[in-house]
Amino acid sequence: MDDDVHATCADESGETMPAARPGLSRRGMLTGALWAGVGGTVLGAAAGSTAAWAASSPAGPPDDIVDLSRSYPFYGQPHQGGIDTNPQRYSVFMTFTMPDAVTRAQLQALLARWSAAASVLQQGKPVGSVQPASDVQPAGDTGEAYELSPASLTLTIGLGPSVFSNRFGFAKYKPALFAELPPLNGDNLDPKLTGGDLSVQACADDPQVCYHAVRNMARLGRSVVAPHWAVLGFGRASAGPGQETPRNLLGFKDGTRNVSTDEQYSRFVWIDSSDQPWLNGGTYQIVRKVRMLMETWDTDRIGNQQQIFGRHKEAGSPLTGTGEFDTPDFSAKDDKGKPVIDPLSHVALAARENNDGIMIRRRSYNYTDGLDAEGQLNAGLLFVSYQNNPGNFIRLQNRLGAHDLLNEYIRHIGSAIFVVPPAPEEGHYLAQALFS
């Protein structure tokens, strides 16, 4: 929610679709009841994916413009999109499992199909015929994004640790740093919301474009993979250049001190000189579903909330400063000799200054699953981070999970890790080197 991690709580050739909506400011973009009644076969099968809704995006600076005609290429990039791409407004994240009977050849064909589909979807095109010539044929594309603009869609595909077992003959290609996450401080995990063999993260500035992309990726893989768990995200809780820092559902600015420069990406995010050359240019994706205890938080006094975060709620500035991007002064004392910023506050525990300079790329979204069985708000943060060493996240989360004052108000209920290969070249497919 702050700093580098929180508790815990990114032009291809060919014809492009016409820009149905050329450009809207965030202030002018109305989103309404975004997810009400979506469900359907794909998301209905995924644990925790009840119909959700999202509020309209907050007003941002004048240069923070939603250009729904923008598209990003999938092929021929140094890295997959959806990582260093400026965060889009909405996300659908889904994990998949593969039955034991799935073969190496089937996995290979799936990654080839998904690569081709991602390149088409990111240009705002359907993955097949929306209305076949014959009435007895099923449609090749589900059609709900037909004639919509690309809306800056990116699809980011990850491989889980299980892919590198002896099952597919990939054990020799498994990176030394890649393993299932160990039990972490703060874990209160739901088994239905953990792990996965493959992951797909769709991000776009139109929620229906996001939904359509993941739905059709799942449809293309139906004979090979089954949806495992999913989260529908809104109100991106991280920012990029020209974007105002958004807020999490606790009302605080989220991701003020995120990875942002090329030097920081090279140092902390992109894998280089790996023990597995096929992975150079990739990264590790860690996903956590963090429920926030809204009703309890909403009764707490503002002074205590600010002490917990170590920041002022409205301005986002550290308690030792006046501007959001002021560097926190962890040595400052009040008139009673006590630290102005509590050493157990979120900002103090997460700050790079207190973690040997460690940073991770946060790319999170808010989520809501409506109400729980007791009528309580069931909402929180879809935390997504990218780093070239999963140990950096593990170290930060164990520190936060053990000591963070915020732990009273959050529960880590979902968790998974994936390796994200670099983007393929035109004519190739994701992780093709594994099958060579």
pLDDT of 229 reads 98
Rounded-to-integer distance, Cα 72 and Cα 124, Å: 10
Helix intervals (H) in 136-261? 207-220
Q: Are 358 and 392 in contact (CB under 8 A)?
A: yes
Q: Are 339 and 330 in contact (CB under 8 A)?
A: yes
pLDDT of 374 reads 96
Helix intervals (H) in 231-338? 262-268, 294-298, 302-309
Rounded-to-integer distance, Cα 376 and Cα 365, Å: 20
pLDDT of 255 reads 87
Residue 418, beta-bridge partner list: 285
Q: Are 96 and 107 in contact (CB under 8 A)?
A: no
Q: Are 163 and 106 in contact (CB under 8 A)?
A: no
pLDDT band at residue 151 using 50, 70 and 90 as cut-offs: very high
Enter the tokens of residue 283: 């990264």
Q: Is the pLDDT assigned to residue 36 strictly greater than 50? A: no
Question: What 8-state DSSP symbol labels residue 354?
Answer: G
Rounded-to-integer distance, Cα 85 and Cα 184, Å: 29
pLDDT of 56 reads 40
Residue showing tokens 């053990």: 402
Neighbours of 339 (CB within 10 A): 18
Task: Report which secondary-structure segment, H or E, holds 386.
Answer: strand 377-387
Confirm whether pTM is higher than 0.85: yes
Which residues 6+ apart lie within 8 Å of 436 measured at CB? Answer: none
pLDDT of 16 reads 37
pLDDT band at residue 300 using 50, 70 and 90 as cut-offs: very high
Total residues belonging to the chain: 436
Mean pLDDT score, 92-117: 98
Amino acid at 131: Q
